[in-house]
A and B are shown apart, each in its own frame.
Chain A
Amino acid sequence: MRPALQSAALTAVAGLLGLVFGFGLLLSHMVDPARVAAFLDVTGNWNPSLAFVMGTAVIVAAPAFAFARGHRRSLLGVTFELPNRFNITRRLVVGAAIFGVGWGLSGICPGPGIVLAGSLNIGGLVFLAAVIVGSLLTSLDPGNQ
């Protein structure tokens, strides 16, 4: 496939999929911080519905990853570069814990944050701006990517 056409297709498909991903977040109520908090509030009025979200998403995606592990390139010719599955480091765990605190406090994770910001919700805009700042600040330490 001609490189320009390939590049255009990659770009367009990604845009469409971002839309679909957002639809999934909206339909599942992942964008409602109260629903996320209710899922995390295991000792309170626990709403487990978000478990169905992640569960079905993983089940749907698993065959595709199995395919990718066994093949070289995607449909549009991009070489698969799957992350290392076994590299468990202290940084990974510390990072996940810090993310967990932020997610637990706000009930918002990056994807829903972007959807909320896009809907021009003020809280979402503030949250997303802070996520970006936090991410860039982390890179100031040369030990981080």
Chain B
Amino acid sequence: MMVPLDFVTIRDAALGGVLIGGAAVGLLLVDGHIAGVSGILGDAVRFRRGWWRWTFLSGLLASSFAAPFVGIAPVVPTHQLGLLGLGVAGLLVGVGTTLGSGCTSGHGVCGLANLSPRSLVATVTFVIVAAATVFLVRHMPIWGLW
């Protein structure tokens, strides 16, 4: 059952997407780089040359503190897992995005915007697998494991 969406939710989703897309446009046309967060993060922690990665990541890190100054309300996250689970999931995300050369911003936004069949395959794959994972966890508890 789809939850009814109100105007504010759709508006904020669309505006958020405009900001994300706009940032990707800026990073590409001004700096010549792809706004794929897993790639930028991965290259940064491998100390690949380029201060721009660190400033971009710093901007991301600081965004929640700067957001109120531009009228964006703080978001209180509701985690789906405990700390151990988040550690395991984080490992999977780190492994998967490195092997798969991208994440929702790299493949899902930049790749699709670039009309890349490679990114389409990647995006369809991770969305379907993620949805299947949620389905299993929420609707098919198995053998009392969860």
A: residues with CB less than 8 A from B are: 7, 10-34, 37-38, 40-50, 52-65, 67-69, 73-76, 78-88, 91-111, 113-119, 121-124, 126-139, 144-145
Contacts and interface: CB of A to CB of B under 8 A. Distances in A.
Given A18-B63, A92-B100, A65 B113 contact: yes
Contact of A75 (B30, B33, B67): B30
Which of B19, B118, B125 has the largest count of A CB atoms less than 10 A from its CB? B19
A100 B125 contact: yes
Interface in B1-49: 1-3, 5, 9-10, 12-35, 37-38, 41-42, 45-46
A85 B80 contact: no
Interface in B75-113: 75-81, 83, 85-101, 103-105, 107-113
A17 B56 contact: yes
Interface of B: 1-3, 5, 9-10, 12-35, 37-38, 41-42, 45-46, 51-53, 55-67, 70, 72, 74-81, 83, 85-101, 103-105, 107-119, 121-123, 125-135, 137-139
A82 B34 CA distance: 8
A106 to B, nearest CB: 4
B55 A34 contact: no
B118 A106 contact: no
Contacts of B95: 95, 98-99, 102, 134-135, 137-138
B29 A134 contact: no
B92 A57 contact: no
B126 A99 contact: yes
A102 to B, nearest CB: 3
B128 A16 contact: no
Given A40-B130, A135-B42, A95 B12 contact: no
Nearest to B91: A134
A105 B85 contact: yes
B56 A52 contact: no
Contact of B17 (A57, A80, A130): A57
Nearest to A38: B3
B31 A14 contact: yes
Contact of B28 (A16, A23, A64, A98): A64
